[in-house]
């Protein structure tokens, strides 16, 4: 099965329902309109930036200092205000767990 998936049918993956980030499953383009299927309610989202394969974008606004979530867990905090549809990576997220920050 899945021998030659030349065309990605799925554009992104939401790894956990409580996440505020989703991960691109293809190279996504700025302006691309996505539909989030969140069980009972869905939401439409327009990408504010291009997102490379396996990179993340916000599906909800995340204020500076707010929790960034993937896998249903905290992966860092926003170092800037992040809008829904924005690229989420090292330029706007910092780890809370690297050296000196303790557990």
Is 30 near another protein (CB under 8 A)?
Answer: no
Pairing between strand 67-70 and 41-46?
unpaired
Is 73 near another protein (CB under 8 A)?
Answer: yes
3-state DSSP assignment of residue 65: coil
How many whole angstroms separate alpha carbon 8 and alpha carbon 102? 41
The least distance separating another protein from the CB of residue 98, rounded to whole angstroms, comes to 5
Of 86, 19, 8, whose CA–CA distance to 47 is shortest?
A: 86
Stretch that binds another protein, among 33-41, 42-50, 59-67, 83-91 (CB under 8 A): 83-91
Residues in contact with another protein by the rule CB under 8 A: 1-5, 7-10, 13, 15, 23-25, 52-56, 68, 70-71, 73-76, 88-90, 93-99, 103
């Amino acid at each position: 099965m899945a021998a030659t998936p030349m065309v990605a049918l799925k554009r992104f993956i939401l790894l956990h329902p409580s996440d505020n980030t989703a991960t691109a499953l293809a190279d996504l383009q700025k302006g691309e309109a996505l539909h989030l299927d969140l069980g009972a309610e869905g939401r439409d989202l327009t990408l504010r930036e291009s997102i490379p394969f396996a990179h993340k974008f916000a599906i909800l606004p995340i204020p500076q200092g707010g929790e960034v979530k993937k896998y249903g867990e905290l992966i860092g905090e926003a170092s800037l205000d992040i809008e829904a549809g924005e690229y989420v990576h090292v330029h706007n997220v910092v780890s809370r767990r690297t050296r000196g920050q303790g557990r």
